[in-house]
């Protein structure tokens, strides 16, 4: 059982103003969180004015909501061989890190993307080059997220993450999504499996580079490369695995951000309570 304070929250909406994401987090019982700064389905610049940003910062401070993560647009593809798409991706990343600085948010989370036939090595080199073109403010850290590994998407192997971190001219860190890691073939279903997977991550990437966990169960089997999230403890990873993750001493100070579904009469609030129940259980 961990003696550190549990940091668990959910991805909340900024509809009506970014401050609403903080209010929603309080209502859900979370104490950290994640947002999109704009619709993740389109290329767009965020429209957050200074008054709204200040209100968000004040609410986060008042309710001890920390840390926060901005998740980048789904359109961002750092690995692409297409120069125009990579330029758009870099421009989007530049905007996101600036917004993070304005909101007092620590992290910007990004998927590496897909090499679309260029090959793993070329795709990873493209990602390193793209990230190197982003000027990251001193108080913001970019997190590279683990992937489910379908098609030509990179980031499913811990080695992909390690390569980008090692080759980058920035001090990048990692966000591991438990559903993605499971889909990519890393077993998390038992305490022994969690121990082995974390040991492998530590050996390849380093647990000191793990800044955040997207805590999601999975609707699909181990190594299927299928990315579909389930309620905590109700998916293929299961309650034993989730309990082992949230109680592992190496993860005691790592925040857990939920991207679980809203279905079966359960949403983020239920999942946050479930994580709190599992902690120390």
At 2, the pLDDT band (50, 70, 90 cuts) reads: very low
Dump pLDDT digits (tens) for 121-164: 999 999 999 999 999 999 999 999 999 999 999 999 999 999 99
How far is residue 176's CA from residue 26's CA, in Å, rounded to a whole number?
Answer: 24
Examine residue 177 and state whether it is found in any structural domain, yes or no. Answer: yes
Examine residue 2 and state whether it is found in any structural domain, yes or no. Answer: no
Please count the structural domains in the chain: 1
How much is the pLDDT for 175?
98
How much is the pLDDT for 1?
38
Examine residue 90 and state whether it is found in any structural domain, yes or no. Answer: yes
Examine residue 3 and state whether it is found in any structural domain, yes or no. Answer: no
* Domain harbouring 188, CATH code: 3.20.20.150
Examine residue 88 and state whether it is found in any structural domain, yes or no. Answer: yes
Dump pLDDT digits (tens) for 4-57: 799 999 999 999 999 999 999 999 999 999 999 999 999 998 989 999 999 999
**Domain span at residue 61?**
8-278
Examine residue 209 and state whether it is found in any structural domain, yes or no. Answer: yes
Examine residue 155 and state whether it is found in any structural domain, yes or no. Answer: yes
How much is the pLDDT for 281?
64
The mean pLDDT of 206-223, rounded to a whole number, is 98
Identify the CA nearest to 181 among candidates 206, 166, 200: 200
Examine residue 1 and state whether it is found in any structural domain, yes or no. Answer: no
What is the chain's percent helix, strand, coil content, to nearest 5?
40, 15, 45
pTM of the model: 0.96
DSSP states along 112-173:
-EE-TTS-HHHHHHHHHHHHHTS---TT-EEEEEP----TTEE-SSHHHHHHHHHH-SS--E
């Amino acid at each position: 059982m961990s003696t550190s304070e549990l940091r668990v929250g959910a991805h909340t909406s900024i509809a009506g103003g970014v401050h609403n994401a903080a209010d929603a987090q309080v209502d859900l019982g979370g104490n950290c969180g994640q947002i999109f700064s704009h619709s993740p389905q389109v290329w767009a610049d965020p429209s957050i004015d200074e008054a709204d940003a200040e209100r968000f910062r004040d609410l986060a401070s008042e309710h001890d909501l920390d840390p926060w993560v901005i998740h980048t647009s789904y359109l961002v593809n750092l690995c692409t061989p297409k120069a125009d798409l990579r330029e758009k991706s870099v421009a989007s990343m530049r905007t996101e890190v600036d917004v993070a600085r304005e909101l007092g948010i620590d992290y910007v989370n990004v998927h590496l993307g897909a090499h679309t036939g260029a090959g793993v090595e070329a795709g990873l080199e493209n990602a390193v080059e793209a990230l190197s073109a982003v000027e990251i403010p001193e108080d913001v850290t970019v997190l590279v997220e683990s992937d489910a590994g379908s098609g030509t998407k990179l980031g499913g192997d811990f080695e992909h993450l390690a390569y980008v971190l090692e080759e980058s001219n920035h001090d990048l860190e990692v966000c591991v999504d438990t559903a993605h890691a499971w889909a990519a073939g890393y077993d998390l279903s038992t305490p022994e499996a969690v121990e082995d997977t974390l040991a492998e991550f530590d050996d390849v990437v380093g647990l000191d580079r793990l800044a955040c966990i997207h805590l999601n169960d999975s609707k699909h089997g181990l190594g299927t490369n299928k990315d579909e999230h389930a309620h905590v403890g109700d998916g293929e990873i299961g309650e034993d695995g989730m309990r082992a993750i949230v109680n592992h001493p190496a993860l005691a100070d790592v925040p857990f951000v939920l991207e679980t579904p809203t279905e079966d009469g359960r949403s983020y609030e239920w999942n946050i309570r479930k994580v709190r129940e599992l902690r120390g259980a």
